[in-house]
Structure 1
Amino acid sequence: MELRHLRYFIAVAEELNFTRAARKVGIGQPPLSNQIRDLENEIGAALFRRLSNGAELTEAGRAFLPEAQAILFQAEQAKQSAVRAARGQSGRLRVGFTSSAVFNPVVPAIVNAFREKYAAVELGLEEAPTTQLLERLDGEELDAVFIRPGSGDKLQARCQLLAEDPMVIVLPTRHPLSEAQTLRLDALAGESFVLFPREAGAGFFDDIIAACRRAGFEPQLGQPAPQITSIASLIAVGLGVSIVPAEMMKINVPGVRYIAIEGEAPAARLTLATRRDERSPTVRNFIAQAIAMQRNSTGNDQLAE
């Protein structure tokens, strides 16, 4: 039994006339009659009573009709499901992000635009440090990750550069320099630095250290922060100073002051990383959405291989 047999049967059942049904399905009346007869022979029961002016369903035909309609409906649903999957319009997407990434407006903009455009895709979001995100991406536990790589990092992933956020100095409000409008980095020489652990993002960590060295001093590492979003809270209680992406100023912590860096300043790169051999249409759609949003926000497209 083939799907075309079911379509022919349903057409005759709806029209109760072989000639009209033949026109409806686009074949001749004799071939249609032969197809229905083949179907009846396979089932082992007559589905229609042939009348002089048309046809009527037999008891077997009436029982067969709703089942045939359900099978065709399920077949169409299966076809549409396959088409949606092939186009990346369904399925699941697992996205990771660093704690600081979501403070850049391009990240929520990408996620929200993707959810609106591909509402049938199940979207999962997870937060972790850059190192863990890259490990989970390589292990196929995540499909795409928003990370803060260092300028010297050589990543195995396919990376789409989304933004380069300026860095700012963070001081406690009672610090003697907290009233300054701008500061050179060398003003922090001799201060105790509050930074996130290097293993959470070695490249980004090293960029901060390198910037201090270019300014002529070796930063003194003090109290480590569990993650970058905790730095301001530790500085507020007087545990040191730091350098963070300017987007972190959105964390409104009483007792700290954010100050622009005068002269050469490090930048915090925000990147979307995916596997180089990724073939999922859903992931490719997410990458395309990220590129579109990045173009809209910066007016250019930068792909770091």
Structure 2
Amino acid sequence: MELRHLRYFIAIAEAESFRRAAEKLHVSQSPLSRQMQQLEEEIGAELFEPSGRGVKLTPAGRLLLDRAKAILSGVDAAAKEVRETAEGQIGTVTIGFESGSAYVGPLSTILTRFRKQAPRVNVELVPMSSAQQWDALRAGQISIGYGNYVPDDASLESVVLARHRLGIVVPKQHPLATASTIKVKDLATEPMLMDPRKSNPRLYDDIIAAVRARGVTLNVASEILDGEALLTLVASGFGLTFGAEPAARFLDVGTAIWKPVSDLGLEMRNIAMWRPDAQSPLLRPLVDLVREFGAAPRDRERGLRGRESERQRRPRRGEVR
């Protein structure tokens, strides 16, 4: 049994005439009759019986009509879905991201634009370190990576989307919160709360190395995996932690603030990465948006810095300057 048998059968059943069905299908009546004979022989039942100058369905034919319509509808739907998948209209894009950087970085802006371009494409976000993202990209487990470090693999392409100074997060009641300038030496006696090294080993090591280069050994009081728990403990006075500059806006709602460390010399970068040999019609529009966004990140950073400086200069409620 072939799909054309079912299409011919439905046409005859709806027209109640071999002649009218042949005219509708733009085929001659004789081949159409032979196709129906073959179908009846294969099924082992008569599908039509004479009715006046035309034909009507037998009980077996009426049963087949319902099933044939369902089969062809399913085939048409499957073909449409396959075609839309091949064209990149539907599917799922999986993005690996560095925890703590997705919400306050440019990723949400890029995904907002992508959703407008491809409203039927699903997006999955999977937290993983930059190094884990490189492995996942090579294995085809994610479509795009969004991390803090440029991949050390020439087979992966990447673009820097943003750069942010790394500073410290302190409770608002802490003496450093009002200091005009903070240096690394000011952290020497402070208890520091850190993300576990395993969650972002390169950043952890970069911080330790940068501090040691200034002759200071950090007093790491605790390593805390959960970001909300970490900030809660900082705000409560249990220690200080490191954070990127965009955290300043996020922290406004709580009782901790972000402060720059003048001689720390570290930055947090938001980097998108992907496999250039694995670009499908589904992924290509997102990669194009990433390239566009990464074309002039310094311009955006200058604008962001300007808005942040203005925010810091703006008097707080009840404050006179």
TM-score (norm 2): 0.70
Which sections of structure 2, spanning at least 5 residues, go unmatched?
A: 298-321
Which residue does 2:318 correspond to in 1? none
Q: Does 1:295 pair with 2:268? A: no
Q: Secondary structure of the equivalent of 2:46?
A: coil
Q: Report percent identity of matched pairs.
A: 29
Task: Give the distance between the partners of 2:42 and 2:34, measured in 1 at CA.
Answer: 12
> In the alignment, is the contact (CA less than 8 A) between 1:167 and 1:268 conserved in 2?
yes
Task: Give the distance between the partners of 1:266 and 1:228, measured in 2 at CA.
Answer: 23
Deviation at 1:179, TM superposition (A): 1.8
Deviation at 1:58, TM superposition (A): 3.1
Deviation at 1:9, TM superposition (A): 1.2
Deviation at 1:6, TM superposition (A): 0.8
Deviation at 1:22, TM superposition (A): 2.1
Structure 1 letter corresponding to 2:245: A
Deviation at 1:188, TM superposition (A): 3.4
Q: Secondary structure of the equivalent of 1:269?
A: strand
Which sections of structure 1, spanning at least 5 residues, go unmatched?
A: none
Deviation at 1:94, TM superposition (A): 4.6
Structure 2 letter corresponding to 1:35: Q
**1:1-305 mapped onto 2 (5 Å cutoff):** 1-49=1-49, 53-90=53-90, 92-111=92-111, 123-130=123-130, 144-149=144-149, 154-155=152-153, 158-180=157-179, 183=181, 185-186=183-184, 188=186, 190-192=188-190, 193-212=192-211, 216-227=214-225, 229=227, 230-249=229-248, 250-252=250-252, 254-262=254-262, 265-274=265-274, 278=278, 284=283, 288-289=285-286, 291-292=288-289, 295-296=292-293, 299-300=295-296
CA distance 1:94–1:220, change in 2 (3 Å):
same
Deviation at 1:18, TM superposition (A): 2.6
Task: Give the distance between the partners of 1:57 and 1:228, measured in 2 at CA.
Answer: 68
Deviation at 1:299, TM superposition (A): 4.9
CA distance 1:199–1:275, change in 2 (3 Å):
farther
Task: Give the distance between the partners of 1:263 and 1:223, measured in 2 at CA.
Answer: 22
TM-score (norm 1): 0.73
CA distance 1:67–1:171, change in 2 (3 Å):
closer
Q: Deviations over 1:79-110 (max 9, x none)?
A: 23333443455555554433312332532344
Deviation at 1:167, TM superposition (A): 2.6
Task: Give the distance between the partners of 2:152 and 2:256, measured in 1 at CA.
Answer: 34
